Every structure is written in structure tokens, then in C-alpha cells.
Structure 1
Amino acid sequence: MKLVKPSARLFLFFWLFVSSLFIVNANAQSVETGNPSPLKFPTPTGIPNQLFFLQRDPNTNTIICELNVDKDGVPYKNEPIKVYWLRYGNKGEREELNYIQRKFAYGIQTKAIGDDEYELRFVSHKKLPMYLMKSADDKKYHVYVTVNNKKIQLDRIFLRIEGGSFWLPNVKYVELKGTNTANKAKITERIKV
């Protein structure tokens, strides 16, 4: 007999992930190479408007955050980002978020803050702002986040879980990967939990 529905498990994992992000300024540090996940995670490809993706143990299913634009390439002001699954466990099929995931976990709230600029926050925790804006360099939209006083053009968020239980998973760290906007170098910031 199952005591917890799969959607509730996803919500709990994401809630733990997002809540761990909010100790960013106090505990963020440059990446260490220890304790990698035993899983081999695929890198999503062929998604022309992909902004960033989110992966976590215990499986390779991936959340995609994609720019939502009209036929002229202009983001829809009321919903500039589409969020959905790539179910690598099911042949990489795309799957929309269900109601619980969209409203309480992986959904993203957006607020226009200027011309071609939006503030983004995960619905499950609103303390870590991300920003969707056009880059002056390539004139394309990207998502930016500030971690450890470094502005990062975000590519990937990863949550490492090692053991524990459903209700109390042992979250080892969160990694944010992207490009340091100050020097254009690839960067990974790890947040120990």
C-alpha cells in the first residue's frame, strides 16, 4: 500500500531543494569535486528556447525552463517561461507539470520589472530571485542569479541527495552551473546543506 502519492514526493523533494537554495549568501562556495551523483544525467538538447534545466537524485527526469515567445520572438508578458518535464525514464517524453507541481513546487511566478526584463521566483519558495533579461552580448534572453556575490547566467541547477528517507532525504549540496557574467568563464557554485 502506498502511503504517499508520487506527486507529493516530487513536491517534497523540490521543497527541500528550493529551501536549501536560500542559504546561498551564507554558505555558497566554489565547487568541490567530491560526492558526485552515481547517476549519469543527460544534457537536454534540441530545445531552441531553453533557458536552464533542473536535475536531482534519485532519477534522471529533468525539469526544463523554456522561453515562451510569440511568432515574432517576443515573450508573452503574462507567461514568459514554460516549465515542463523531460521524462528520460520514459524515452525522453515531454510531460506537462501536474497541478500540484505547478502550483506548489516547480511552477515559476513572473513579474515584469522593465522593458524585456522579468523577476522570476519558484512558487515553492520566493526568497531567491532570478531574472529573465536580454543579454547585451548576444541579444538573447537568459536567466541570471546572484550567488556568493557572483552574477551567473544560469544553465543548470542540480540537487544531490544521498540516502535518508522520503520525509528527511539527506541533501548533500545544490549546484548552480552557468557563466560568470564578469569574465565569461564557466562557473559552478556549490551550496552545502
Structure 2
Amino acid sequence: MKKPKLFFFLLTLSALALSPMRASEPEENLYLTPQRLFHIARSINKNLVCYDANLVGGKLDTQKPLNVYWVNREEHMGEKNGLSFIQRKMAYGYKVVAEGNNTSTVTLTAYDGRKLEICQQGAHYVCRTTINGKPAVLKYLYVKVNDRNPLSVDYVELHGESVSSKEKVTERIMN
């Protein structure tokens, strides 16, 4: 697997432009919506980048499958904000790489090394990918920024649930 250096750099740069430095721990179930697929939590503040399924008439919009936005958890608790053009194009946006019947496969703009499949599982939509070599439902990503150099990321962790066993799975991608 290629090293996602650009991914780490862009996530860090975008985060620094938005928020003051403050420690945060990943929290799985905060500010959930019925359409929530996953979110990104970062070590520099408590704000979340949320990825929800974009539904039209109860079905996935396969051409624009994700609604991506910020949830403020510091100054204006619970306030939602869209992504800026630069955030969408360089860090937190996505690209549709395949469309199916009520499914879409996407990659994150900053790192195209991992495909994410948006599909229906029971009554809800989920984001499936591979985490630590296992098929899994992605729950959240955690970005750990380097304490001594805020323009550097130490690692990104993927957190999810095994498709077969329902056990929690985690994978740490080091910078």
C-alpha cells in the first residue's frame, strides 16, 4: 500500500486553517444522524467532518452519494457548516469511482488508496471498506497531529466493525 503522505498533509493543513489547537479523543456516537456513514475526528480540536448518505426519495444518489459537512463542537456547539472549496478539492471531498444499483464506490480526495463502498445494509446505508485486512463497516477515522509540528500527522486510524463477526476492527496508518 502506498504511503498517504499527501492525505496527512492536506488533512492537517485544512484543520489548522479552521480551528484553534485543542486535544480531542475520537467519539463514535456523537451527533449521529440516521444517514451518518462515518466521520473524521482530529487530535487538534473537537470538531467533526461528517459523511452522511445523500438520499433522494429514500434511495442513494449514486452520482452524489455523500453529504459532507463540519459539526462544530467547540464555539458554536452543534452548528453545521459546509466545506469550503479548498477543503472539498484538497482534503475532505470525494470522487465517485463506480456506480451500481443503489450503491456507489468512492475514494477520499486526499487519499485515493482505499475504496469506500456506500451500500444499503438492512434498513440503513453503510460505508464498507477493508480495515486491517478484513471487510468492515467504517465508523470513523481519527487523525493524530504531531504535537511538536502541527503541519505533520503522526497517523490516521480507521475504526469500524467486521462485516462477518460484528467485532470492532482498527487499522493505524503511520505517516
- The residue aligned with 1:50 is 36
Note the aligned Cα RMSD (angstroms).
2.4
Residue of 153, 164, 187 corresponding to 2:137: 153
- Note closer, same or farther for the CA distance 1:88–1:147 as it changes in structure 2 (3 Å cut): same
Name stretches of at least 5 consecutive residues in structure 2 with no aligned partner. Answer: 1-7, 15-21
Aligned in 2, Cα 1:15/1:120: closer, same or farther, shift over 3 Å? farther
Instruction: Quote the residue 2:72 is aligned against.
Output: 87
Q: Distance between the aligned counterparts of 2:13 and 2:162, measured in 1?
A: 26
Hey, what does 2:95 align to over in structure 1?
A: 109
Amino acid at match of 1:177: H
Query: Structure 1 regions of 5+ residues with no counterpart?
Result: 1-10, 18-36
TM-score by length of 1: 0.73
Structure 2 letter corresponding to 1:147: I
Partners of 1:156 and 1:176 within 8 A in 2: yes
Distance 1:125 1:173, change over 3 A: closer
Q: How many angstroms apart in 2 are the aligned matches of 1:96 and 1:88?
A: 15
Find the residue that maps to 1:184 and give its secondary structure: coil
1:92-115, Cα deviation, whole Å (9 max, x unpaired): 210000110011110111234321
Count of residue pairs the alignment pairs up: 159
SS of 2:67's partner is strand
Whether contact under 8 Å (1:15, 1:125) holds in the other structure is no
Cα shift readout 1:102-155 (whole Å, capped 9, x = no counterpart): 1111011123432122111111222221111122xx242210111332111011
Task: Give yes or no for the alignment of 1:128 onto 2:114.
Answer: yes
**CA radius of gyration, larger in:** 1
Which residue number corresponds to residue 73 of structure 1?
58
Q: Deviations over 1:150-193 (max 9, x none)?
A: 111011100112313243x2x33322111111211122222333
1:87 is aligned with what amino acid? N
| Identical residues among aligned pairs (%) | 27
- Kindly indicate whether residue 105 of structure 2 is the aligned counterpart of residue 119 of structure 1: yes
Give yes or no for the alignment of 1:64 onto 2:50. Answer: yes
- Structure 2 partner of 1:173: 155
Gap change, CA 1:50 and 1:62, over 3 Å in 2: same
Deviations 1:14-71 (A, max 9, x none): 1689xxxxxxxxxxxxxxxxxxx9534554234111010111111011000001111x
**Counterpart check, 1:140 vs 2:124:** yes
What is the letter of the counterpart of residue 160 of structure 1?
Answer: K
Please, what TM-score do these two structures have when normalized by structure 2? 0.79
**Do the aligned partners of 1:61 and 1:87 also contact (CA within 8 Å) in 2?**
yes
